[in-house]
Amino acid sequence: MTSNDSLDSMGLNTSPQIDQTPELNTTLRAGGATSIQARTHIAVAPEYYPRGKRSLSGIAIRAFCIGCTAVLGFGLATLLAYHGSRLWRPWAFLGTLSIFHFLEFYTTAAYNTPSAYVSSFLLTNGNQYRQAHTMALVETCITSYFFPDWQARFSLPIIILVGLIFTLVGQSVRSIAMAQAGTNFNHTVQSRRNDGHELVTYGLYAHLRHPSYFGFFWWGIGTQLMLGNVLCFVGYAGVLWYFFKRRITRMYLVIFCIKVLRNTDHRRRRETFGRLFWQGI
């Protein structure tokens, strides 16, 4: 007697099982797959879909356009400069702007992921921001094409080099400052303290009080020196100084108000505890 015969005699079925209800099993498997897909679909937050605050498609298309603009800008700037045309400046400015906006999002996404939104590219950074860059682009186009001799008086090679250095240093300082601040950095002034927020005192913050503002200020000044813009150089210097002065003043005012409210709340709790204590006695 074989082992299978002995098992059969004991009432144990050793023959291969045959699916008696293939249609039912197929329906159950299809239903299970559908339910899994439905759960996966629900698990993705609506803000990641098109037109959401973290729209993945919106981020992809903006990154693609910015990359194309950077390649086109620096490529044409190099080609025009090689052939001695002064019109390399507008294209170099577009390339520089593309790098700036890309790094704004990349640094936020890499080091401050909870605050990474489509708006982190800063492409919609207010009307004044767009007007300033538009005026700079218009000025360099007009002076490069219609008044090259007048532009040459203010756009010496040494000035262009200084502007390029300012731009590179400013961009580097801003990006490093954002990375070192991590989740403590925000593009807008916060009116209340978030959980986990800490005062950053290491890295660039050990030497500069506002390194991200410092970097953007000298980045803006450097771009105008590089372009040979006289009017926008003066305008950028004045507007950026006033903007950051007002922003820093507002930021310290918010910090002061938070501390006052916190101390007031602490004093109120202490007085309430004191009254309850004496009433208990």
Q: Whose CA is closest to 86, among 18, 155, 135?
A: 155
8 Å CB contact between 203 and 265: no
Query: Would you call 207 helix, strand, or coil by DSSP?
Result: coil
Please tell me what DSSP assigns to residue 11.
T
Tokens of 111: 């080091």
pTM of the model: 0.76
DSSP string, 93-150: HHHHHHHHHHHHHHHHHHH-GGG--GGGG-SS--HHHHHHHHHHHHHHHHHHHT-HHH
CA–CA separation, 81 vs 144, rounded Å?
12
d(CA 171, CA 194): 27
Q: How far apart are CA 105 and CA 122, in angstroms?
A: 8
CA-CA distance, 176 to 208, in Å (whole number)? Answer: 12
Assigned token pair, 230: 């006289």
Per-residue pLDDT of the chain (281 residues; tens, 9 = 90+): 544 554 444 444 555 554 555 554 555 455 555 555 555 555 889 999 999 999 999 999 999 999 999 999 999 999 999 999 999 999 999 999 999 999 999 999 999 999 999 999 999 888 999 999 999 999 999 999 999 998 988 899 999 999 999 999 999 999 999 999 998 888 876 666 677 778 888 999 999 989 999 999 999 999 999 999 999 999 999 999 998 888 888 776 766 676 666 655 545 544 444 444 334 43
